Amino acid sequence: MECPGDLPAPSDPDLVARAAAAKAALGTKVFVLGHHYQRDEVIQFADVTGDSFKLAREAAARPDAEYIVFCGVHFMAESADILTSDAQKVILPDLAAGCSMADMAVLSQVETAWDVLTELGVAADTVPVTYMNSSADIKGFVGRHGGVVCTSSNAKRALDWAFEQGQKVLFLPDQHLGRNTAVLEMGFSLDDCVLYDPHKPNGGLTAEQLRDARMILWRGHCSVHGRFTLDSVNDVRERVPGVNVLVHPECRHEVVTAADFVGSTEYIIKTIEAAPAGSAWAVGTELNLVRRLALAHPDKQIMFLDKAVCYCSTMNRIDLPHLVWALEELVAGRVVNQITVDPDTAHHARVALDQMLALPGADTPPPTAR
């Protein structure tokens, strides 16, 4: 993706000063959001840091900010556009900052899957649930069909609600979050879950499998969390006696079951903050966050779960040159890389998001251990 205009060179020694000057010139007209997985060079300019849904809500809570600069990925900026007013403009500094997981569920594929369920006579009893890490198109589909959006913090509450509405769930797009929540938190068996592959006829499943399943899991995953393996867990336990293994529920089922603690990004941060000095932690989530936690808590031994380090390549697309370029263009009166969701999709996506907000219980459950 090429930026219209001149992108500053990464070697420019004045990048930090230029970003600070542009942000100061914009004043309260701009509100910068930074996802936890962003680079340190970018996160230092964020007015608020958090996970995707927290940031979208923070944007909606700043109606006076004309520009929302979202340092994250595309689906996050879409959610911010859905939740903010028409007068606000959401900007993604680099349009190439996508999400491989969100891209694994395309609207046409999901509509085909729904047609399969309809032909089998089970669509009426199926409630679609989509993870926040999905496109606006998928959120809109879910809203049209009476479903709900969930986060990694409230997935169980969303599924509890869904099973009050119907007999089965189509869970999009992350198979691991769906499986881990259903089996480890709701008492389902692995046999209650089937994996729908959009690249195969009928998802690669028989009519009997689709009729009998309670959880129809979409074949999608996070490229970062999916790389952690059971060998990673076993290896770190051998190398670091007494280590606590703390992972995100987007990790594979066998990794989650072998871990000591499992939870969302916010949960991971709170768990590390509350941990006693001298404790050791192997964390299975994106490397930028793990490094930041290690620097913030030098009294604890905090390490990346896998020996091979891995950043989220699309999150890393947002770098300081792109942020400087976006801010300086706004100072010059030019709105670049604006993210907009068409009104019909935005309406139905908002229905699914509002249904999530209406779920009973607090936004974030108390920490639990496996």
CB neighbours of residue 118 within 10 Å? 12
Tell me the CATH number for domain 102-220.
3.40.50.10800
* Strand spans (E) along 54-167: 67-71, 89-91, 126-131, 148-150
What fold, for 14-98+314-341? Answer: Rossmann fold (3.40.50)
Annotated binding site for iminosuccinate: 35, 52, 131-133, 152, 248-250, 265
DSSP 28: G
User: Coil, strand, or helix at residue 53?
Assistant: helix
Residues 81, 301 contacting (CB under 8 angstroms): no
Does the domain spanning 225-304 belong to CATH 3.90.1170.50? no
- Averaged pLDDT, 216-232: 93
101: pLDDT strictly greater than 90: no
Distance CA 357, CA 353 (A): 6
Residues 72, 95 contacting (CB under 8 angstroms): no
**CA nearest 139: which of 358, 357, 350?**
350
Annotated binding site for [4Fe-4S] cluster: 99, 222, 312
114: pLDDT strictly greater than 50: yes
Annotated binding site: 35, 52, 99, 131-133, 152, 222, 248-250, 265, 312
Distance CA 322, CA 317 (A): 8
pTM of this structure:
0.88
| Choice between 344 and 317, residue whose per-residue pLDDT is larger | 344
Q: Would you place residue 315 in the very low, low, confident or very high pLDDT band (cuts 50, 70, 90)?
A: low
Sequence ranges of the chain with CATH classification 3.40.50.10800:
14-98+314-341, 102-220, 225-304
Handedness of CA 210, 213, 216, 221 (dihedral sign): negative
Distance CA 187, CA 101 (A): 26
308: pLDDT strictly greater than 80: no
- Give the pLDDT confidence of 127-140 residue by residue, as tens digits: 999 999 999 999 99
What would the 3-class secondary structure string for 145-158 be? Answer: CCCEEECCCCHHHH
Q: Would you place residue 366 in the very low, low, confident or very high pLDDT band (cuts 50, 70, 90)?
A: very low
